């Protein structure tokens, strides 16, 4: 979240990411990390012009309903089951300046906690009017917005009774496909956040707090949908934690 981002002079350096702020690659309580954690030193792969200069994402690549998950998979005249919500925010750099032209994609479970994925074996039913996928491009001021339903929590085979809190996955692309950052957004007040083995790999509670969206009544639609604000900060000491770049953005 960007609530406490302090603007700094332009051109300020990118500080090294703190090891005590981000989770270790190997966290035995999060069982699958034992298979995913690298066993050798990381290497840096040089980027070519294809990764550095393109492609450029624009509004002309989007469908009319791409950011409206309430309608982009629903049958005519029908809607998904669940609590209707708006998720919005801004993408900012480390100096609190907006980052325009960022392709933001989300994916999530339905209101029952089930993904529309062939490998999801949870017994909750699929919703015939909900795919759980959306995308948009940030505007000139870094704003993005989605209409969707609040995803449900779900059990997962990590421990005897482990549950994932309600969450939405975010993917951000820069000016090229190699510039991709992935994170998860949680909901303020969810008691499962502090119980989640994945969340608990993050050693600093302040870092966890930056992954939590805030209820935003000012952006809510009366008699329709509550709104949640989730700002994403690129680089710097107050950077949002990105799960695919724990070594740095």
Identify whether 115 is a catalytic site residue. Answer: yes
Whether residue 154 lies in the annotated active site: yes
Is residue 87's pLDDT more than 70?
A: yes
Task: Identify the band that residue 38 occupies on the pLDDT scale cut at 50, 70 and 90.
Answer: confident
Q: How big is the chain, counted in residues?
A: 249
Q: Taking 50 as the threshold, does the pLDDT of residue 249 lie above it? A: yes
Q: Which residue in the list 22, 90, 115, 229 is annotated as catalytic?
A: 115
Among this protein's residues, is 135 annotated catalytic?
no
Separation of alpha carbons 132 and 114, rounded Å: 10
The pLDDT score that the predictor gives to residue 91 is 97
Q: What are phi and psi of 199, to 5 degrees?
A: -60, -40
Q: What number is the average pLDDT over the span 224-235? A: 95
Q: What is the reported pTM?
A: 0.82
The per-residue pLDDT for 4 is 38
Q: Which two tokens stand for residue 216?
A: 């935003």
Residue 54 has pLDDT above 50, yes or no: yes
144 as an active site residue: the answer is no
Q: What is the mean pLDDT of the chain?
A: 86
pLDDT of residue 9: 47
* Residue of 121, 119, 117 lying closest to 130 (CA atoms): 117
Give how far Cα 200 sits from Cα of 115, 130, 203, Å: 23, 30, 7
Q: pLDDT value at position 52?
A: 61
Is the omega angle on the peptide bond into residue 194 within 30 degrees of 0, that is, cis? no
Instruction: Give the pLDDT confidence score for residue 59 in this predicted structure.
Output: 64
Per-residue model confidence (pLDDT) at position 103 = 93
In order of start, what are the domains of the chain with their CATH numbers?
A: 78-233 (2.60.130.10)
């Amino acid at each position: 979240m960007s609530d406490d981002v302090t603007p700094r002079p332009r051109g300020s350096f990118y500080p090294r990411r703190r090891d005590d702020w981000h989770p270790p690659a190997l966290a035995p309580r999060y069982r699958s990390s034992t298979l995913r954690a690298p066993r050798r030193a990381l290497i840096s792969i040089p980027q070519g012009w294809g990764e550095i200069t393109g492609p450029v994402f624009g509004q002309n690549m989007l469908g009319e309903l791409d950011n409206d998950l309430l309608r982009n998979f629903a049958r005519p005249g029908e809607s998904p089951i669940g609590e209707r919500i708006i998720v919005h925010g801004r993408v900012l750099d480390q100096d609190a300046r907006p980052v325009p032209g960022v392709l933001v994609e989300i994916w999530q479970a339905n209101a029952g906690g089930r993904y529309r994925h062939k490998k999801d074996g949870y017994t909750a039913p699929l919703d015939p009017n909900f795919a759980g996928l959306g995308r948009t491009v940030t505007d000139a001021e870094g704003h993005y917005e989605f209409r969707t339903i609040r995803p449900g929590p779900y059990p997962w085979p990590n421990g005897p009774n482990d549950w994932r809190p309600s969450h939405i996955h975010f993917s951000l692309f820069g000016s090229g496909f190699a510039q991709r950052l992935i994170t998860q957004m949680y909901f303020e007040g969810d008691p499962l956040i502090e119980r989640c083995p994945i969340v608990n790999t993050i050693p600093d509670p302040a870092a966890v707090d930056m992954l939590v969206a805030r209820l935003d009544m000012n952006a809510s639609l009366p008699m329709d949908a509550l709104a949640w604000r989730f700002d994403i900060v690129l680089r710097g000491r107050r950077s949002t934690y990105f799960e695919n770049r724990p070594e740095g953005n």
